[in-house]
């Protein structure tokens, strides 16, 4: 990481036989977004993520939606995680970990993130329908698992309670964004120190 005033950015262009993704990320943003994945509810969640994290994000994904949504959702998660990993560099001077509790009317969601260099994800959505909007609800877990893999991070996400399946997913994306915002933030006490005793993240 460079000077404290430096903006941390990343560019990811990821192409497979299943998806083609172009992504531009600025961590020190203002919540600006331009997102297109072909799945409108998923776009909406990524827009909420960007605004609540105060990131700037441009993301397009052309995926084989005629086959299934799985490749698109998982690959976007991986690419977004890779972008954060790239933008954070050696991770010197960052908070590294963050958590957040987020309400959405009758729903409460919690997220905890550790940019530890170790990959793990635990996702408990409590969504009880096959679809939320036009998004296959089981793929919410695949998105967060993909992000954890791409970012080399621990990601724990859980709906504590709630009635609306829409609200459950939305609360989780908002909580995740705000937890990640804390984890990425600069720790003035650490300065350029690495937030780890093992010397590498």
Alpha helices in 121-161 (DSSP H): 139-151
The predicted model scores a pTM of: 0.94
Burial of 200 (0-12, 13-18, 19+ CB in 10 A): exposed
Cα–Cα–Cα angle for 157, 118, 1, rounded to 5 degrees: 100
Residues 6+ apart with CB under 8 A from 65: 38, 39, 72
CATH number of 9-184: 3.30.230.40
Lowest mean per-residue pLDDT among 56-60, 86-90, 128-132, 193-197: 193-197
Q: Residues 33-90: pLDDT tens digits?
A: 999 999 999 999 999 999 999 999 999 999 999 999 999 999 999 999 999 999 999 9
C-alpha of 198 from chain center: 25
Q: How far apart are CA 16 and CA 115, in angstroms?
A: 26
Average pLDDT over residues 3-31: 92
């Amino acid at each position: 990481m460079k000077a404290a005033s430096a903006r941390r950015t990343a560019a990811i262009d990821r192409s497979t036989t299943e998806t083609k993704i172009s992504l531009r990320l600025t961590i020190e943003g203002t919540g600006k977004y331009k997102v297109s994945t072909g799945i409108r509810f998923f776009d909406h969640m990524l827009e909420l993520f960007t605004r609540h994290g105060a990131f700037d994000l441009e993301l397009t994904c052309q995926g084989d939606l005629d086959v299934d949504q799985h490749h698109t959702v998982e690959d976007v998660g991986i690419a977004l995680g890779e972008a954060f990993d790239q933008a954070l560099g050696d991770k010197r001077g960052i908070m590294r970990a963050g958590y957040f509790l987020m309400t959405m009317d009758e729903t409460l969601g919690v997220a905890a993130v550790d940019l530890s260099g170790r990959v793990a994800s635990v996702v408990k959505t409590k969504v009880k329908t096959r679809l939320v909007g036009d998004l296959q609800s089981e793929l919410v877990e695949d998105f967060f698992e993909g992000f954890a893999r791409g970012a080399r991070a621990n990601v724990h996400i859980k709906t504590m309670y709630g009635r609306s399946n829409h609200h459950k997913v939305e609360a989780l994306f908002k909580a995740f964004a705000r937890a990640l915002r804390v984890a990425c933030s600069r720790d003035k006490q650490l300065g350029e120190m690495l937030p780890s005793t093992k010397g590498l993240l």
